[in-house]
Structure 1
Amino acid sequence: MPALNQNLQNLFNIAQKPEKLGIGLMSGTSLDGLDIALCRFTGNGLNTKFELIKFITIPYKQHFKNEVHEIFSRRLVDLEKITLLNAYIGTFHGELVLAALAKWNIKPSEVDFIASHGQTIYHAPKRLHQQAEYPNATLQIGDGDHIAVKTGILTISDFRQKHIAAGGEGAPLALYGDVLLGSQPGEDRILLNIGGIANLTYLPADGDHHKVVCTDIGPGNTLIDAACREYFNQPYDKDSMIALSGLVNDKLLSALLDHPFFKEKAPKTTGPELFNLSYLEDAQQVSGVKDISPEDIISTLSEFTAKTIADFILANFPPDSKIFASGGGARNPFVINCLKHFLPKADIADTGSLGIDPDAKEAILFALLGNEALSGEPIRIGSNPAVLMGKFSFPVYSILLL
């Protein structure tokens, strides 16, 4: 039997290790920065044990944000810019990983793998594009080969494509990590992530994986952040200061809630392609409130986020479920207080009480998906495809001279 080449032999060796050190990378639609989570894993599947060793968010500079915004969630963009950013972001993220490792005094050779989500630039489920001849689709850039070559670390990336190819919508992928890390027999749990888009995973008390639901709900921070940039030249509503200075406009709120997406059956996905400033402008036009103050707009959008989350939970799950929140919205006092008002029977905390840093949760979950790609087996959870996700990119171990 011929020997494996060096790349495949190293891959085999890593996959066989009982304990792995992996890095999860997450860059969300808010473009705050790159989340880097260094995790230790033992086992896989339902026997997975993990420890968060280090975590950091390295903020993006405004110039980089502007470059990505030129192509983000736009139907018509500069194809050359997409091509250039795909390579650039891969190398850039690799540089940020090396900077984090240097800060932590950890050598790249000590890390077994990097699991990179990439930068989503367009999410196009069939329910949104409505073109009968085309399937669900999504696109994340930040090439894995560039990360692997830059860091010298095996890189796993492009996770969402297998989920789509196997019949899913490519999101939310938090499902797998939430089930493996968040289930508790005898307790109905909801792991709620309020990122750019709000999504949740329902974990039933009886542990029946057929009852697990993982779905997008609607806007998380994306509309609030977009309005803060538009009206206040601020990236987000820090400590809800703007929302708390305004008043909720009931007419606008009603118009925002009046969209077919909220009546569609879960699981479902969405993105800023739907929930953007045009969505807000249309709702203002319909409700006849185009002249309300920017502060009132932020207040209304904040309650809109909370109302859509609460309505979905009340319509589908036990009202006294324990809710564990993560993402930027978990630090938004206005949104969280609204949730507590709308869900008086629920116990709402953040994922820190589960031992999972709420800021690091998504990066941790992608590191876990990387561990599964290496050593796991497909798991059937609810109606989701039973697949392992991720594409492997090898570093340049050596140069063979002929």
Structure 2
Amino acid sequence: MNVHISDLARIAAAPSRIIAGLMSGTSLDGLDIALCEFTGSGLETKLKVLHFITMPYSQQFKEELKAISFKTQVELQQVTLLNAVIGSYSAKLILEALKEWGYPVSAVDLVASHGQTIFHAPASLHQQKAFPNATLQIGDGDHIAVQTGIVTLSDFRQKHIAAGGEGAPLAVYGDYLLLSSPVENRILLNIGGISNFTYLPGGRNPDLVFSTDVGPGNTLMDQFVQLNYPGKYYDQDATIAKSGTPNPKLVQALLAHPFFEKPFPRTTGPELFNLSYLQNAQQASGQHELSKEDVLASLCEFTAVSIVTAIKQSIGEQSFKVYLSGGGMHNPLLVQKISEGLGFALNNTADLGIDPDAKEAVLFALLANECVAGGKTDFGQRRGIPSVTMGKISLPG
């Protein structure tokens, strides 16, 4: 037997596994690394987050990623080059994080790398009848495995699509296994570049679990700030948006898109929600002369309304608690508007034992744990949640 296959079998059969989960989202700000210890699998999974850090990307690297992300036409050579570069860069950042923590590389069993999404193309968005759902994450797992010496799982979203899903959101798998309750109805609301939520009804019945993308999270607000406020990447503490006033006509124009009429679950990305989307809404509403502060306030209002509406439409009158994660939870104005729209205060996943900033990296580590040591959980018969294990395995030698 190949020694690396033998090592993988040993890891799978061990009572626990140390897995480094990696996540880089649509904000392109850095690599989240969560070092996790897993015991068991499925609904018996026990998790301990040993360390978490966000390793910031250099300015040059951010610009290189932006040049090929979420555009219908890019330089193919640059995509090919960055596929290797991102893999190598991720390996470098993992090794730096482990050194900072004083944690030996040899003690890490697996790396779980989400990769960098550069285009998400569900059929509902590309609307080409001859083509299926598709998505593309780059950052080659072989480069990570070889340069760290650690078995690496990557490219998780392809299996989801192959099994009939849209490649997103994947958080539902980890949310169900780690954060569902036998008694409490919970909504796990993640506000990253795109917002999504998982509904976990009390009782852990997989046929009642529901997960969907909602629409924009931070992406439109961040893009607007980056265009209009040089040197800023986001509206810290919503300082700019708080100084403006939402324009009702612009907000309604932003909401007047066929995406918001599509049935749940649905998925989307910055391929749709970008500055062109904002410009089209300004043109349709005749709101070209708004101040930058009012535009940003309107974008915040639009994001909050889309989230609140999606939750109310899909969940109805049932009582539930909301647990936040993702960068958007640090936007106090957005959180306030969502809370007011729902009529109650919001919690975050720290109340459930998981750092909300680390949650997505943790969830990909969990997917790797399931791929290697689990894979027996029935996630029910809901559309968009196929009962499959995900992740392609790269051996270090």
Please indicate the TM-score interval, normalised by the length of the shorter structure: over 0.9
Residue 248 (structure 1) aligns with: 246
Normalized against structure 2, the TM-score is what?
A: 0.97
Q: Tell me the secondary structure at the aligned position of residue 214 of structure 1.
A: strand
Q: Which residue of 2 aligns with 1:164?
A: 161
TM-aligned CA deviation for residue 347 of structure 1: 4.2
| Pairwise CA distance, 1:378 | 4.4
Deviation at 1:83, TM superposition (A): 0.4
Letter in 1 for 2:37: R
Alignment-derived partner of residue 133 in structure 1: 130
Written as runs of structure 1 = structure 2, the 5 A alignment for 1:134-153 is: 134-153=131-150
Residue equivalent to 2:272: 274
Unaligned runs of 5+ in 1: 397-402
CA contact (8 A) 2:34 2:49 kept: yes
CA distance in 2, matches of 1:17, 1:285: 60
Answer yes or no: is the 8 Å Cα contact 1:319–1:343 preserved in 2. no
Choose which of 174, 197, 205 in structure 2 pairs with 1:208. Answer: 205
CA contact under 8 A between 1:41 and 1:371: conserved in structure 2?
yes
Cα distance in 2 for residues equivalent to 1:316 and 1:392: 36
Q: Which residue of 2 aligns with 1:183?
A: 180
Report the alpha carbon displacement of residue 204 of structure 1 after superposing the two structures with TM. 0.8
- The residue type equivalent to 2:339 in the other structure is K
Determine the structure 2 residue equivalent to 1:324. 323
Q: Which residue number corresponds to residue 88 of structure 1?
A: 85
Q: Which residue of 2 aligns with 1:400?
A: none
SS at 2:120 equivalent? strand
Q: Is the 8 A contact 1:200 1:216 kept in 2?
A: yes
Contact 1:21 1:111 (8 Å CA) reproduced: yes
Per-residue CA deviations over 1:28-87 (Å, capped at 9, x if unaligned) read 000110000000000001100000000000111111000001100011100000000000
**CA distance in structure 2 between the aligned counterparts of 1:214 and 1:72, rounded to whole angstroms:** 25
Tell me the distance in 1 between the aligned counterparts of 2:326 and 2:243.
Answer: 23
Q: How far apart are the structure 2 equivalents of 1:295 and 1:188?
A: 37
Q: Residue 399 of structure 1 corresponds to which residue in structure 2?
A: none
C-alpha deviation, 1:379, in angstroms: 3.0
Aligned to 1:337: 336
Could you tell which deviates more after superposition, 259-268 or 42-51?
259-268
Task: Please tell me whether the aligned partners of residues 98 and 151 of structure 1 are also in contact (alpha carbons under 8 angstroms).
Answer: yes
Secondary structure of the residue that 1:25 maps to in structure 2?
strand
For 1:249-398, what aligned pairs fall within 5 Å after superposition? 249-317=247-315, 318=317, 320-344=319-343, 346-381=344-379, 382-383=382-383, 384-396=385-397
SS in 1 for 2:5: helix
Give secondary structure in 1 for the equivalent of 2:68: coil
The Cα offsets for residues 284-335 of structure 1, whole Å up to 9 and x where unpaired, read as: 0000001101111111101111110101111121453100000000110010
Q: Secondary structure at the match of 2:246?
A: coil
Distance 1:207 1:150 in 2: 40
1-structure distance, mates of 2:328, 2:318: 21
SS at match of 2:346: strand
Supply the distance in 2 between the matched residues of 1:209 and 1:261 (Cα, whole angstroms). Answer: 27
How far residue 206 of structure 1 moved from its aligned partner, in angstroms, is 3.2
1:320/1:347 contact within 8 Å kept: no
Which AA in structure 1 matches 2:378?
Answer: R
Please report how far the alpha carbon of residue 377 of structure 1 lies from its aligned counterpart in structure 2 after TM superposition.
1.5
Any conservation in 1 of the 2:264–2:314 contact (CA below 8 Å)? no
Distance across 2 between alignment mates of 1:228 and 1:388: 39
Per-residue deviation, 1:231:
1.1
In the TM superposition, what are the counterparts of 1:48-87 in structure 2 within 5 Å?
Answer: 48-87=45-84
Long gaps (5+) in structure 2:
none
What is the distance in 2 between the residues matched to 1:112 and 1:335?
A: 39
The equivalent of 1:16 in structure 2 is 13
**Distance in 2 (alpha carbons) for counterparts of 1:249 and 1:160:** 38
Q: How do 1:206-245 residues align onto structure 2 when only pairs under 5 Å count?
A: 206-233=203-230, 234-245=232-243
Aligned identity (percent) is 55
Q: 2-side partners of 1:358 and 1:52: how far apart?
A: 12
Instruction: Name the Cα RMSD after superposition.
Output: 0.9
1:88-145 Cα deviation digits (max 9, x unpaired):
0000000000000000111111000000000000000000000011000000000000
- Output the amino acid matched with 2:309: D
Distance in 2 (alpha carbons) for counterparts of 1:261 and 1:189: 25
Question: Secondary structure, in 3 states, of the residue corresponding to 1:70?
Answer: helix
Inter-partner Cα distance in structure 1 for 2:14 and 2:150: 16
8 A contact 1:321–1:347 mirrored in 2: no
Asked if the contact 1:72–1:122 (Cα under 8 Å) also holds between the matched residues in 2, the reply is: yes
Task: Kindly report structure 1 stretches of 4+ aligned residues shifted beyond 6 Å.
Answer: none
Tell me the SS of whatever aligns to 1:218.
Answer: strand
Report the TM-score, using the length of structure 1 for normalisation: 0.96
Q: Which amino acid aligns with 1:377?
A: G
| C-alpha separation in 2, matches of 1:160 and 1:124 | 12
The residue type equivalent to 1:17 in the other structure is A
| Aligned length in residues | 392
Q: Which amino acid aligns with 1:333?
A: P
The Cα of 1:340 is off from its aligned counterpart by: 1.1
Q: Residue 35 of structure 1 aligns to which amino acid in structure 2?
A: D
- C-alpha separation between the residues in 2 aligned to 1:340 and 1:322? 11
Structure 2 CA distance for aligned equivalents of residues 25 and 45 of structure 1: 21
Change (3 A) 1:96 1:276: same
Counterpart-to-counterpart distance in 2, 1:203 and 1:123: 26
CA shift digits 1:144-191 (9 cap, x unpaired)? 000001101000000000000110000000010000111112211000
- State the alpha-carbon separation in 2 of the partners of residues 347 and 323 from structure 1: 8
